[in-house]
Amino acid sequence: MSASLCVFSPDAVPIQPVQARAWEAAASGLSPHELAYAAGMGFSGKGGTHVVLPAADGRIGRVLLGVAAPDERGHDPFAPGRLATLLPAGDYRLEEGWAEPALAALGWALSAYRFTRYKARRDHSPRLCIPPEIDGARLARIVEGVTLARDLINTPANDLGPDALEAAAVALATRHGAELRTLRGEALRQGFPLIYAVGRAAAEEPRLVDFQWGHRAAPKVTLVGKGVTFDTGGLDIKPESGMALMKKDMGGAASALALAHMVMDAGLNVRLRVLLPVVENAISAPAFRPGDVYRSRKGVTVEIGNTDAEGRLILADALALACEEKPALLLDFATLTGAARVALGPDLPPFYTDDDDLAASITRSGRAAHDPVWRMPLWNPYDALLDGKVGDLNNISGGPFAGSITAALFLRRFVDPDVPWAHFDIFGWSPTSKPGRPEGGEAQAARLLFDLLDDRYPA
């Protein structure tokens, strides 16, 4: 269990939600000294504000948290999360009146996350009692999966190169009894030439981590995660500003591992496969070059228009492998394009699929899980922008527009049309702290897809 959570106790300090428009009614339920204290502190139920009310004996009696109503624009199911780093040490519980107690508790636990590998945590944080009406085991596995992804993304490349990312995947697979194999270095040259080409210039070999879990007869669900542990841009080198956060370029692999943990820990009825192409896009004598042409695993020849569009190359070989066994569902995660951030910002990853039913399920799950995504079009007329002059296709469109869409169209070239597929162009990072989302690495889309898979393939 997360250190920020504890078993329910009726003696814990209650946290009461208060809406500004209902403050008068809420105030009528307070004792005279509580009301006087709240008034003295200027509390009126405004969203994002709180007040700690003393009991008659001087201890904390209750906490009032101003929240927006579910029908108001500022409503945030994770709102209690802001208290996880503000309240004094002690045990707290959610008072009656919370519209979504499961998300409230999750927001608390996710807000309490701290990356402590290099800087010890010295504070004594408050704990939230798990509401008795929610599934504590489910909450714990979600928090653990997100924590795994955040820790991986936040770790700098000097301590999380291809070797270390592979080791994290192996540890997770071993923990859950999955079958695992890894291909490295020269073993990739023939079967996975794009992965090999991108990663061969680095000090640590490129590799493809492949693990499978669950009953062989169960529906096949395959996750593919981009594992670029650092991206210099290659010979088309990034500027300093573009390289500053490139430790997070393995956020797709981290999110895939987060989801894999949730699925395996819950024992869902799937045959899960996780494919992680893991490389560092480095610069040295063997680095792949603009103008090079490589024959992919699928047999399609790819002309390199830009070495900084490397993520789609390693995903292409992995997606081709995934489709060879015709999974019931194929999902890929990648910190793929800056264009996605320009279009939708850091908090709202786009996703792409030609399957309308799958898209509707993803959207519903994202809203319910407070893990938002937004469908973008696989706009067929743009597909021709990827046609190569020397190879079958180029890894970039050659123009400044629709970069996230053309990247998704590139990936689609390697996915069989009869395989249900969705691509998530995530950011993998929270640039500022919000309830449930502290600044730093973030596992985007993993929680919503766990809900979707749990609904489709329950244990």
Instruction: Kindly give, in sequence order, each residue whose CB lies less than 8 Å from that of residue 241, ignoring residues fewer than 6 positions away.
Output: none
The two structure tokens encoding residue 118? 């290099």
**Whether 396 contacts 305, CB under 8 Å:** yes
How does strand 207-213 pair with strand 179-184? antiparallel
DSSP run (H or E) holding 257: helix 251-266
CA distance 187 to 183: 6
Residue 279, beta-bridge partner list: 228
CA distance 102 to 131: 8
For the CA atoms of 67, 68, 69, 70, the dihedral, rounded to the nearest 10 degrees, stands at: -110
CA distance 342 to 338: 6
CA distance 294 to 197: 8
Amino acid at residue number 174: T
Is 62 in the active site? no
The two structure tokens encoding residue 63? 């906490």
Is 312 in the active site? yes
Alpha helices in 291-376 (DSSP H): 311-323, 338-344, 356-369
Residue 53, beta-bridge partner list: 62
First vs last C-alpha separation in the chain: 21
**Whether 94 contacts 101, CB under 8 Å:** yes
CA distance 97 to 107: 16
Of the candidates 238, 295, 375, 434, the residue annotated as catalytic is 238
DSSP state for residue 204 in the 8-state scheme: S
**381 alpha-carbon distance from chain centroid:** 30
Of the candidates 127, 184, 271, 312, the residue annotated as catalytic is 312
**161 alpha-carbon distance from chain centroid:** 19
Instruction: Label residue 265 left, alpha or beta by phi (over 0 means left) and psi (-120 to 50 means alpha).
Output: alpha
Number of Cβ within a 10 Å radius of residue 77? 22
CA distance 452 to 447: 9
**Active-site residue list:** 238, 312
